[in-house]
Every structure is written in structure tokens, then in C-alpha cells.
């Protein structure tokens, strides 16, 4: 998905980061041919009174900037600094841009620091059709109440594609989910990091999503999860690690492409495809080229024995699981217990291929657990490997 053409192309480069906050409020939008669009400028939140000193409540100032940008479907730039905020309501068709400078363990650059106060989220994207978030670090400060970092919360799917794009953002330490998208229809989350949230890293209820090149790390539930109706989502090139209730967890979903992800040290299954609340099957799913390592961390508990497995597929129709590499292990530095007990757990499949996966030192007890109850057209073979021997 191509980035919009207006002129953030210069100020987000490494060589121009320091100069950006000085000139950005005067930078006009540009067409591809560099012709200025009259009366459209990228607004600077500082011009609306935002301080970014970490103690001033900047909610109203940033909200005023976004409301002003909405008049022309423009954009707001938030310079580096720490902005204390409660809920911010993003408007339709605007961009909100920061300076992305976060590391793996620390948010830097443009930091929006959640102040709580009963807000259900820090950034509310509900109804923000076509909005774009770029380069923001969101810190929930572990404030109790279950607030989410970024939220779409619609009562129904409506008649229009949502199309928000969340790009190069860091979302950490929220007591809800990092990103929660409820009844979403068309979206993109890429190049972002959901870190140590008490809920899921990314939770999706909806479809037509592109989830590309992200980190979902150390979250209290799953890295990526869909517990309600969900379909047609693509997960590619993500690192999904150290999430307590699993790496990728999908209930009753369909039409997924799960390719080229690295899934490490999940508390339960690396990938779980399970029937939905109405007993509907997962179906039409391609899972290829993933590395799944150290699933089922025993110290984090499990619902039943088969949660200690790399993958668990129950009541799935029309799936191919091939060309994946599975390996057991324990915590970094040789600490903790080895896991998982099982490699691939299968039950109630129909028109599925589970073939040509490798499990060198793949599990502790059994590489493939076939619980039967399959329908027609099921191929399970050539999943080679070995059990890990622990002295």
C-alpha cells in the first residue's frame, strides 16, 4: 500500500529530523508534480498550544489541531516531545504524524503519554475513514481500567470501508489491547510495535486487513487475535514473540494468508485455529514459510495439554499448512523449561493438507498428534523431524 503523496517525504528522513519541528508548520501540501494545493498545510500541534513537556495536559491542543486539519482533509505534525493526553478523537481523512525514534524497549521521538481519567483509549479511530497515523509512540503507563492504545469501536460494519492505516507506531503498556479494531472493514497495520500490553498486541473483529512487518511482543494475551467474526486478513513478515496466550489465535476465521512470520516463545500455541462461538469452522487458510519456536512456555500455564504445542488446528476446512519450520526450546540464556510437548495437533479437518513441514528437535513428546474426526480430502504426511532429548 503506497504512502500518500503529500510532503512528509523529506522531514522524516534521518538527516532532516532535527530541522522538522522548525519548519513543518509552514510546509504546504504538494501534488506529485510539486504544484501547491491552496490553503492546505500540515499543521503543527505546537501552534495550537501543545507543550510536549510531559506534565502539561496537551489533549485539547492536539484535538484542536486535528479538528482544524479535518476541515481540509489535511494533516497534523506533532514534534518530538512527551505529550500528556487523554482520549484523542481522530477525524475522517486526516494524517497525524510524529517523529519515529523508538527502540525495542523504549518509546522516543513523538511520545503520547496516556493520563487515564476514565478514557477507553488514547487514540480513537472510530469513524476516521481514511485516516493515517505515522511515527507515534503511545505509552499507556499501565493505568488500570482496560484502556486500549488505538481503538475502532463501531456498533455495526456500516456501508463504507474504514481504511485507516497505522504505520511505524509504537503502542505499549496499555491495560487493554495495544490496537483493538472492532467491526473494521479494510485496514493496514505495518512497521509497528505493540509491546507489553495486558491484552492482545492486535485484536481484530472484521476483515480485509494487511498486517505487515510488525513486532507483537510481550503482551498479556495473544500477539494477534480474532475471537469474533473475522476474515480475509493477511499476516506477513511479523515477529510475534513472548505473548502469554499465544502467537496467532483465530476463532472461526476464513480466507487468511499467514506467511513468513517468526513466532517465538508463545505462552500457548504458536498458531491456533479453533471453532468460533457458533461452532463455525476456520476455513480457506494458507499457512506457509513460518518459523515457530519455543511455543507453550510452561511457566505461563495452559487450558489443557494441547495448549503446549506449536500449532493446533481443530475443525478447519480448506487449509494448507506446508513449508514451515518448528523447533522446541527454552528461555534465553538457557533458563526455564523446554517446550512444547507437541508439535502439530490436528482434529476434525476437511479438505486440508498438512505436509512437508520440518520439526528438528521439534517437541518433547510427539511431533504430530492426530485426534481424528476428519472429513474427506485430508492429507497428513512427510512432516519430518525429531524429538528433543533432554539429559
> CA-to-CA distance for 228 and 225, rounded, in angstroms?
9
C-alpha cell at 201: 498486541
pLDDT value at residue 217? 98
pLDDT value at residue 391? 72
> CA-to-CA distance for 217 and 234, rounded, in angstroms?
19
Largest Cα–Cα distance of the chain, in whole Å?
73
Specify the pTM. 0.90
Residue range 127-135: mean pLDDT, rounded: 98
Length of the chain measured in residues: 391
| Segment 179-213, tens digit of pLDDT | 999 999 999 999 999 999 999 999 999 999 999 99
pLDDT value at residue 19? 37
Does the bond joining 317 to the residue before it have cis omega, within 30 degrees of 0? no
| Segment 21-80, tens digit of pLDDT | 333 444 443 434 443 333 457 999 999 999 999 999 999 999 999 999 999 999 999 999
3-state DSSP of 232-243: EEEEECCEEECC
> CA-to-CA distance for 216 and 243, rounded, in angstroms?
8
Local structure of 61: helix, strand or coil: helix
Please spell the DSSP secondary structure of 215-259, one letter per residue: EEES-SS-SEEE-SSEEEEEEES-EEES-TT-SEEEES-EEEEEE
pLDDT value at residue 177? 98
C-alpha cell at 226: 480474532
What is the pLDDT of the chain when averaged over all its residues?
A: 91
Local structure of 42: helix, strand or coil: strand
Residue 13's pLDDT band (cuts 50, 70, 90)? very low
> CA-to-CA distance for 150 and 126, rounded, in angstroms?
10
Q: Is the pLDDT of residue 334 over 60?
A: yes
Q: CA torsion angle for 177, 182, 187, 190 (degrees, to 10)?
A: 10
With the C-alpha atoms ordered 50, 54, 57, 62, is the resulting torsion angle positive or negative? Answer: positive
Query: Do the beta carbons of residue 341 and residue 308 sit within 8 Å?
Result: yes
CA neighbor of 94 nearest in space, from 50, 62, 53: 62
pLDDT value at residue 40? 59
Cβ count near 105 (within 10 Å) = 10
HSE of 224 in the Cβ direction (CA atoms, 13 Å)? Answer: 31
Beta strands 53-57 and 81-85 are parallel
Query: Do the beta carbons of residue 173 and residue 143 sit within 8 Å?
Result: no
| Segment 357-375, tens digit of pLDDT | 999 999 999 999 999 999 9
Amino acid at each position: 500500500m503506497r504512502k500518500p503523496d503529500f510532503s512528509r517525504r523529506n522531514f522524516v528522513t534521518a538527516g532532516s529530523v532535527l530541522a522538522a519541528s522548525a519548519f513543518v508548520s509552514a510546509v504546504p501540501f504538494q501534488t506529485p508534480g510539486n504544484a501547491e494545493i491552496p490553503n492546505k498545510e500540515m499543521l503543527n500541534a505546537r501552534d495550537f498550544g501543545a507543550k510536549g513537556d510531559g506534565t502539561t495536559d496537551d489533549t485539547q491542543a492536539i484535538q484542536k489541531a486535528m479538528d482544524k486539519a479535518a476541515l481540509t482533509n489535511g494533516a497534523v505534525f506533532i514534534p518530538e516531545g512527551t505529550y500528556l493526553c487523554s482520549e484523542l478523537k481522530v477525524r475522517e481523512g486526516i494524517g497525524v504524524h510524529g517523529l519515529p525514534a523508538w527502540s525495542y524497549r523504549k518509546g522516543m521521538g513523538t511520545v503520547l503519554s496516556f493520563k487515564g481519567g476514565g478514557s477507553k483509549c488514547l487514540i480513537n479511530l472510530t469513524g476516521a475513514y481514511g485516516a493515517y497515523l505515522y511515527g507515534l509512540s503511545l505509552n499507556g503507563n499501565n493505568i488500570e481500567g482496560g484502556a486500549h492504545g488505538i481503538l475502532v469501536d463501531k456498533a455495526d460494519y456500516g456501508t463504507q470501508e474504514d481504511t485507516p492505516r497505522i504505520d511505524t507506531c509504537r503502542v505499549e503498556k496499555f491495560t487493554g489491547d495495544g490496537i483493538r479494531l472492532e467491526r473494521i472493514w479494510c485496514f493496514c497495520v505495518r512497521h509497528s510495535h505493540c509491546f507489553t500490553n495486558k491484552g492482545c498486541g492486535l485484536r481484530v473483529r472484521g476483515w480485509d486487513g494487511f498486517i505487515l512487518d510488525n513486532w507483537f511482543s510481550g503482551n498479556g494475551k495473544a500477539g494477534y487475535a480474532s475471537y469474533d467474526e473475522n476474515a480475509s486478513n493477511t499476516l506477513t513478515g511479523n515477529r510475534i514473540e513472548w505473548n502469554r496466550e499465544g502467537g496467532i489465535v483465530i476463532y472461526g476465521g476464513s480466507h487468511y494468508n499467514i506467511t513468513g512470520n517468526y513466532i517465538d516463545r508463545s505462552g500457548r500455541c504458536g498458531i491456533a485455529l479453533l471453532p468460533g462461538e457458533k461452532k463455525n469452522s476456520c476455513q480457506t487458510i494458507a499457512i506457509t514459510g513460518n518459523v515457530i519456536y519455543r511455543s507453550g512456555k510452561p511457566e505461563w500455564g495452559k487450558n489443557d495439554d494441547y495448549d503446549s504445542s506449536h500449532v493446533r488446528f481443530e475443525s478447519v476446512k480448506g487449509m494448507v499448512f506446508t513449508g514451515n519450520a518448528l523447533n522446541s526450546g527454552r528461555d534465553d540464556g538457557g533458563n526455564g523449561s523446554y517446550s512444547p510437548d507437541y508439535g502439530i495437533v490436528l482434529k476434525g479437518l476437511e479438505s486440508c493438507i498438512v505436509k512437508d513441514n520440518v520439526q528438528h528437535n521439534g517437541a518433547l513428546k510427539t511431533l504430530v498428534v492426530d485426534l481424528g474426526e476428519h472429513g474427506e480430502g485430508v492429507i497428513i504426511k512427510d512432516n519430518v523431524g525429531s524429538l528433543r532429548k533432554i539429559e
